[in-house]
């Protein structure tokens, strides 16, 4: 009896200068997360404002995310369906923040 290999799930990397595909249907509801990574370019204020715009969080929550990114190097800033994660990542990338969308499987 032959063994069936399960496909591995890889993170989705979409460069900041490429538009995100608008899609619906199969796969768009996969539970996913948005990771925000630290950089030496953006100020706390830049990151907080963009998080408020992308995620709809308060300035305090945006500050706490920014602090986590600064101290740990990354933070999960959103959990939800893949299609929503891709939209949030696109907004964060408007100011060239480094973001990754990963399925939670």
d(CA 99, CA 14): 9
What is the model's pLDDT at position 28?
74
pLDDT digits (tens), the chain, 105 positions: 455 555 444 444 545 555 545 555 566 788 999 999 999 999 999 999 999 999 999 999 999 999 999 999 999 999 999 999 999 999 999 999 999 999 987
What is the model's pLDDT at position 52?
97
């Amino acid at each position: 009896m032959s063994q069936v290999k399960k496909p591995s799930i890889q993170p989705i990397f979409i460069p900041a200068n490429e538009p995100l595909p608008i899609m619906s249907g199969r796969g768009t509801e996969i539970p996913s997360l948005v990771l925000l990574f630290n950089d030496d370019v953006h100020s706390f204020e830049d990151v907080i404002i963009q998080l408020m715009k992308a995620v709809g969080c308060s300035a305090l929550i945006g500050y706490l995310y920014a602090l986590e990114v600064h101290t740990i190097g990354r933070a999960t800033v959103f959990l939800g369906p893949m299609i929503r994660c891709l939209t949030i990542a696109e907004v964060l990338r408007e100011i060239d923040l480094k973001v990754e969308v990963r399925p939670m499987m």
